[in-house]
Structure formats: structure tokens, C-alpha cells
Amino acid sequence: MVPERIGALVDEVAWLADAFDAAGHRLYLVGGVVRDAVLGRLGQTPDLDLTTDARPAEIKAIVAPLAESVWVQGERFGTIGARRGGRSYEITTHRAEAYSPDSRKPDVAFATAIESDLARRDFTVNALALRLPDLTMVDPFAGLDDLAAGRLRTPLHPEESFGDDPLRMLRAARFVAALGLVPDAAVVAAVESMHERLAIVSAERIRDELDKLVVAERSGDGLRFLVATGLAGEFLPELPALALEQDPIHHHKDVLAHTIAVVEKTSPDRVLRLAALFHDIGKPKTRAFGPGGVSFHHHEVVGARMTRDRMRALRYPNEDVDAVSRLVELHLRFHTYKMGWTDAAIRRYVRDAGPLLERLNELTRCDCTTRNRIKARQLGERMDELETKIAELREREELAAIRPDLDGVQIMERLGIPAGPPVGAARAFLLELRLDEGPLGPDEAGRRLDEWWAGRQDIPKG
């Protein structure tokens, strides 16, 4: 039975279905789009995964007269792209692919039967196809039953499936997190015994799967799967290392459980969730025991450095590395202002957070996972107070881009000096004034600059 909600998609691909049928070839919607249609999870513009028994040259011959444009960058892997009516389509010849033991790239072999193609899919819930144009569901591995049961299985033996593409082990964690599926015992056992094979997968592919996992609805379940099976140790060893007790005497919540709880509490914003994932990774290296119990002094500084190193190893863009590591570095900043929020403290907090301010505030709120309701309420009230004061200060002065009252050119003109380190020192002095006292105006800032300059003994005046 074909879900009614897939009807709009069928209409979108009707021109392709008719063309392939007329040419004597079968065309199928396959994989995630079929699964999501069954689950009622289709987005506004879902990706359309199409497969056919036609070879790449035949695909080109069929679609070229009907499409507005055709691209062939993936032809070697059996994929031809086409565009029509503002929608992009990719059609792939049925294939069976496997990785050789020491290669990161698949060996591609084409197949003639849809069942052969589906056998090489990652999981049974993705080994579903809808034959076009007659709308016959093809489900040779009982993927629909597994969807109904909330079960995660592989079409072939898990060892064979994960051997074909080891990234599927990480994808299993993602489906646990995104779809709430429970992996069967054979899948778990295979990951436990084969996780070292993830080493042949590129860092970029691993990174992309991690990104999808952390923003999933049940991200915590996926992260626990990574740790329990040993898979996290292959690409994110800092995560299982968090399974240490914060207080061995009273057996308080371990850092790993706390970290997962923080990830689950934050909004599904990729950068924010990555910051939540990494925010305490410096604790194992900084844990110390003293008369007052366990401490993790400067774990945010150590953690920021570790975050930067790990994200670079996973080939994250510099923009992501900078943002996430900065959030890790600042995630305790809120707690340093225990005596209240002066205007100067707020300016420095906002300046240091920059465009990450809202994310930093949310991370700080979510970092409180205590069951002590009084403590949690007090932290929430303090954060409410901070955000209120930030809003009030924004009404009185510009906080979005705090800068000195005089720029470099004005400083050089007033002091009669050329460009160089003294100008930077003067600008830093004026910035500190701006942070401490707010906007002074050019006249008062100039007067204060003159006093400062006259008192500098370490800089030649002529």
C-alpha cells in the first residue's frame, strides 16, 4: 500500500517515470524519501533518490531531451543529474558497491535487479523502493515491519553491510538518534567487533554524520550508542573519556552523563550542540582532588584547545572551529560574576561573546543539569537578570560592536604619531575606558588620551 502523502512526489517525477517506462526501463523512488513518506516525516523539498536498471549512457539519452540541463560528474558511479522546473533530480543505475579492506573509495559494480541494489543499502528501513509509474512498493527485507517495530537491522549480515561501507556503523547511531530505532543484537555486536574499520573512512564523511547525529531529536541515545559500542573511540575519544565521576566520594553524576544531558537540553542548532558536546572535554585532564573535594580548574581553557584540535582533525571549517571552541572557552564566564552585573561587566561579557552571545547564554542555562530545584531556580533567575540588564544597556548605548571613541586615524592625528605599536596601545587604552565607563564622546576621550599619553614613560614622544 502506497502512502497518500507521497502523491505530490509521484507527480513531480511523473515525467521521468513515463520517459523511462516508454524506453523499456524501470524507475524507482528509493531509500530515505520512501521511508520518510511512510513515517509522515517528509519535509517541504525532500531529496529524491531515484534508481533504474538503465545504464548511465541510457539515462542520459532518456532525460536529455526533457530536462533543462544535465550533469554527469557522477557518471563513473552510475549517477546522472538533471534539472527541470526548478527541481534537481539524480538518477542512479542499480548498483552494488563495496570497499576494499584498505580503501576509502568504493568499488562500483552495476546491477540489473532492484533487489540487488536494495541488498546493498545500509538498513532495511532504507531498503524500500516505490516502482514507477505503477506505484508498487518493493520491500524484500521487511523494512516496513522494522519501521513499525522500531527496529534497526541490516539487509545482509551486519558484518557484510558494515564491511561494504564502515560509515554505516556511525549511521546506525544517527538512525537511533533521528528515528528512535533500536538496533538489534546482531547490529550492536557487529559494531563492537568492527569499529576499528572506521579508520578507512574519510574525516569529512565522519564529520557530516556527526553533525546530523547531534541535531537529531534523540541525540543522547545516539551518543550513548557510540560510547557503548566503542565506536566513539575511533573518531572522538574525548567522549568516552568523560565517563568519570565528578565526585568519587558521593558518586555524583559522571561527566559523560552530564554532557549528554546538556546536548539534549539545547536547541537543535548544530554549532550550539557541538559546543554542548565539547564543553567539558577538558575535565579529565584537569581533575584534581583536594580538601574541598574534586576540582577541574581551567578546564574550559584546556577544553577549548582540545576542541580546536579535535574539530580540525575532523576537517571542520575554520568558522565552525572558532565558534565552537570559543563557546567552550566562555561557557563558565557567567559564573565569574557572582557579585552582580555592573555595566562594565556586561560590556565585557557581550564583547567577549560577540555574535555567539545568544548561544552562549543558552549553553550556560543548559549546563545546569542539577536535580536541586533551588539551585536550578537561582541560576535561571541570575541568567534572567543578566539578559534583562543586557537589553537595558542596549537601549542606552551601542553594544553590538563596542569600539573606542577614537579610531586609529584620530589617535595618530591627536598625538602626532605615525602608525605603529603606540597607536595600538592607545587604542587598547581607549577600549578599556569604553568598557569600564561606556561612551565618553570624542572630546572627553581625547582629553583622557592626552593624560594617558603624557604619563607614558615607556614610549618615546618625539
Give the pLDDT confidence of 44-86 residue by residue, as tens digits: 666 788 999 999 999 999 999 999 999 999 898 899 999 998 8
Task: Report the distance separating Cα 215 and Cα 315, nearest Å.
Answer: 19
Alpha-carbon gap, residue 285 to 316, rounded angstroms: 24
Q: How far apart are CA 121 and CA 96, in angstroms?
A: 9
> For the chain, which ranges sit under pLDDT 70?
1-5, 43-46, 97-108, 245-253, 292-293, 295, 338-339, 399-400, 457-462
Partners of 49 in beta bridges: 90
249 occurs within a structural domain: no
- Residue 386 and residue 384: Cα distance in Å, rounded? 5
Pick the last residue of a domain from 128, 149, 170.
149
Domain boundary among 149, 178, 197: 149
Q: What is the pLDDT of residue 170?
A: 98
Domain contains 354: no
Which of 149, 178, 199 terminates a domain? The answer is: 149
pLDDT of residue 100: 59
What cell was used for 67?
A: 530536462
Residue 84 lies in a domain: yes
Domain count, the chain: 2
Domain assignment present for 175: no
What does the alpha-carbon distance between residue 183 and residue 321 come to, in Å, rounded to a whole number? 32
| pTM to 2 decimal places | 0.84
CA dihedral 206, 208, 210, 215 (to 10 degrees): -170
Joined together, the cell numbers standing for residue 142 give 521487511
pLDDT at 251: 45
Are 394 and 358 in contact by the 8 Å Cβ rule? The answer is: no
Integer Cα distance of 97 and 121 in angstroms: 9
Domain that holds residue 63: 4-149
* The pLDDT value given to residue 249: 42
Say what the pLDDT of residue 150 is: 96
CATH number of 123's domain: 3.30.460.10
CA distances from 105 to 202, 235, 338 (A): 9, 19, 54
Q: Output the CA–CA distances (angstroms, integers) from residue 6 to 52, 53, 263, 289, in the order listed.
A: 19, 22, 33, 60
In angstroms, the CA 61 to CA 56 distance is 9
Alpha-carbon span 441 to 451, nearest angstrom: 16
User: How many Å from the N-terminal Cα to the C-terminal Cα in the chain?
Assistant: 88
| CA nearest to 390, candidates 337, 322, 329, 327 | 337
pLDDT of residue 123: 97
Residue 91 lies in a domain: yes
